[in-house]
Structure 1
Amino acid sequence: MTYKPFQIGVRPDWLISDETTHDVSLREVLALLAAIDATGNIAGAGRECGLSYRHAWGILRKFEAHFGVPLMITRRRQGTQLSPFAQRLVWANRRIEARLMPMLESMASELQEELERLLSQNAEHVRLHASHGFAVEALLRHMQGRTPGLELRYRTAIEALASLERHECDLAGFQVPLGDFQAPILRRYSPWLDAGAYRLIHLAVRSTGLFVEAGNPKAIQGMADLARNDVRFVNRQIGSSTRYLVGLMLERLGISIAQVQGYETSEFTHMAIAAHIASGMADTGIGVETAARRFGLDFIPMVQERYFFAVHCDTLETPAVQSLLQIMRSDNYREEVRQQVGYDATETGMIQTLQEAFE
């Protein structure tokens, strides 16, 4: 039998059970509610979801019965709107997707490569361990369906570099801020960065800063505001370089982490940080500008970060890595990176020694 190319995806799903039904999926109603929120009416949402007006109303009525509360509210001269409960469902789903999708994409990529190695004579692939970023997501999309394939696993920067040292991956992704915080971040990475053994592939420069609600109602201006009693912060996960950067910034200002309300509250991705704030669960958090703009948040720039892939010198010349470099240097990929708000792809695909990158 001839091997037929395929693409694996893993998606989160909500299930609801009650005394009469078990494990009913909410996927359809959540998609419909999100479309109503975007279009402002049921007819337009139905068209976007490929549903008739009658079928859309049937879905809404079905789940109103399940929840025992209305999902839509009709007001004179204002049309039909999502109820507060439905709005909460939509935002909860956005938070779940923002939190889980990178991990699920990583798992799908890993499973894809395992199965393709079993089915195909050509087992060539590139193993990338990297901290989450939008340029990394774009690279995974551009490598799909190609030979060699890309096996992506999201890790913190230190976990990725440690995996590279143990030869568990071919490329390790990590970010370094330009300016005053470059040196302490590099010292943190130094046990896993042998200047003689590795080369660096430049991925992108990205703008990192504070996310705040649209209009900045709390008048947050910078990191010093995290010490205010009326400001709730959401952090990145323990071990992440962004969390370490937050600690450095607070230390420079003489602010202890105990003064920051929400310092121990954490999310795994930039999008999850943005969703957390956009849903009203926090007032500010730190991440890449792209995520803030996608959730309609305002952005306060703090630092520019360079994102690199570290690679062993001998691995750099392999056909698989050279093929990946060709994609990174392509006009299509560089243009997609440039379209991410806050990203600069000017030096994407450039190879440097550690000395050249960090003079």
Structure 2
Amino acid sequence: MTYKFQARLNSEWTLESPDGARFPLGDILRLLAAIEATGNIAGACRECGVSYRHAWGLLRRAEGVFEAGLLETSRRQGTKLTPFAHHLLWANRRMEARLAPTLQSMASELQEALESLHPEIRPRLRLHASHGFAVEGLIQQASAHEMLSIELRYRTATEALASLTRNECDLAGFQVPVGEFEHAILEHYSPWLNADQHCLIYLAQRDTGMFVQPDNPKNIHSIADLIKPDVRFVNRQIGSSTRFLVGLMLRRLGIDPRQVNGYDSSEFTHMAIAAHIASGMADVGIGVETAAWRCGLSFIPLAKERYFFAVNRDSLTSSSMRQLLALLNGERYRKFVSGLVGYDAGQMGQVMTLNEAFPQLAGKAA
């Protein structure tokens, strides 16, 4: 019998008063999100699976705890969230986006521990990669694939590639922009990529750009606009490939990063960047288009990035790697990635040498 359970960790806020009384926020946050999505309480009740009476009781109790109204109701506009409720909801979304990589990595560690105690464990692949939508979907697909287990650790691209050279993982995820900045990014990765030792598995191409409010009130249209005095920028964490790419773009324009208000601020995921802007804490950030779309933001394209898994050549013949390639070339996962806004799954699952993926490397070697 194969171990068939999937370990998952979730976070949930709780408010505690001085007398020790506790008010869990999970139910009210889910209800508010459903009201925002449906525009009425009845629809939110159906989505959350609660009665109308229970929903109103929960709302009234929450308003008492917060000492603030949560809903505005009118005949013409239906039911909408108050500014307080809106900020509360986006604060939770920011925290969820920040915690997601940590919780998923911890869940993966627990899964590994549980499977190691089982007499018959599935073949396991160790994947180190930055947090992204295609990678997230791959883990979900693999967990439903009973013959393949993927142990995930979220790392920056350079950390993942360094782990591969130390044999601490089987796959290292990294992205490379197409065009002008490709060479500089490859130089950045070069200490950990060896054409004789490694080959690449192509995952997808994705659109990366700037996230701004839907009406773009600050008239942000290019990287040069980041130095406008009234523009607040939110960056990715130190060591991330996206932050490195932003630095290259600024350098091309002769802009000192210190001129950018918020350059030293950071978030760890594309969704955290989008939630940061959607909540009004910043005016612009950079990430994958999927995140902008999910948070209702406008997207200004900057670059197309190809995403790869680097692997050791001699690992391609292992049974677990063959199962991964079968998953990547399967219709279900391809359909999932193709459905992500800003993703192109056209070459997914192709195995190629570094020189095939980046012909300029061959020219440099010659």
* Alignment TM-score > 0.5, same fold: yes
C-alpha displacement of 1:43: 1.6
Corresponding residue for residue 67 of structure 1: 66
Q: Which residue of 1 aligns with 2:25?
A: 26
> What is the aligned partner in structure 1 of residue 190 from structure 2?
190
Deviations 1:48-71 (A, max 9, x none): 111111100111112222222222
Supply the distance in 1 between the matched residues of 2:77 and 2:201 (Cα, whole angstroms): 54
Partners of 2:51 and 2:121 in 1: CA distance: 46
- Structure 1 window deviating more from structure 2 (96-105 vs 154-163): it is 96-105
How many residue pairs are counted as aligned between the two chains?
Answer: 358
Give distance in 2, aligned partners of 1:138 and 1:68: 40
* RMSD across aligned positions (CA): 1.5
Change (3 A) 1:344 1:60: same
SS in 2 for 1:311: strand
Q: In structure 2, give the amino acid aligned to 1:280.
A: G
Q: TM-score, normalised by structure 2?
A: 0.94
Q: Measure, in 1, the Cα distance between the counterparts of 2:180 and 2:74.
A: 55
8 Å CA contact 2:123, 2:319 repeated in 1: no
Q: Counterparts of 2:171 and 2:102 in 1: how far apart (Å)?
A: 18
In structure 1, the residue matched to 2:133 is: 134
Residue 202 of structure 1 aligns with an amino acid whose one-letter code is Y
Q: Which runs of no fewer than 5 residues in structure 2 stay unpaired?
A: 360-366
Matches within 5 A, 1:55-134: 55-75=54-74, 78-134=77-133
Q: Describe the superposition over 1:161-205 as per-residue Cα deviations: whole angstroms up to 9, x where unpaired.
A: 011111110000000111111111111111111110001000001
**TM-aligned CA deviation for residue 210 of structure 1:** 0.8
8 Å contact from structure 2 (residues 125, 320) kept in 1: yes
* Distance in 2, Cα, partners of 1:315 & 1:3: 24
Give how far 1:20 is off.
3.6
Correspondence 1:221-260 to 2 at 5 A: 221-260=221-260
Q: Which AA in structure 2 matches 1:91?
A: W
**Which residue number corresponds to residue 159 of structure 1?**
159
The one-letter code matched in structure 2 to 1:66 is: V
Equivalent runs, 1:1-359 vs 2, <5 Å: 5-75=4-74, 78-145=77-144, 146-359=146-359
Question: Whole-Å Cα distance in 2 between the matches of residues 134 and 98 of structure 1?
Answer: 12
Alpha carbons 2:2, 2:120 under 8 Å: kept: no
C-alpha contact 1:125 1:147 (8 A) present in aligned 2: no
Q: Distance in 2 between matches of 1:289 and 1:78?
A: 30
Deviations 1:311-348 (A, max 9, x none): 00111111101101100010111111111111111110
How big is the shift at 1:266? 0.7
- State the 1:79 CA deviation: 4.6
Q: Secondary structure at the match of 1:238?
A: coil
- Give me the whole-angstrom Cα distance separating, in 2, the residues matched to 1:37 and 1:348: 36
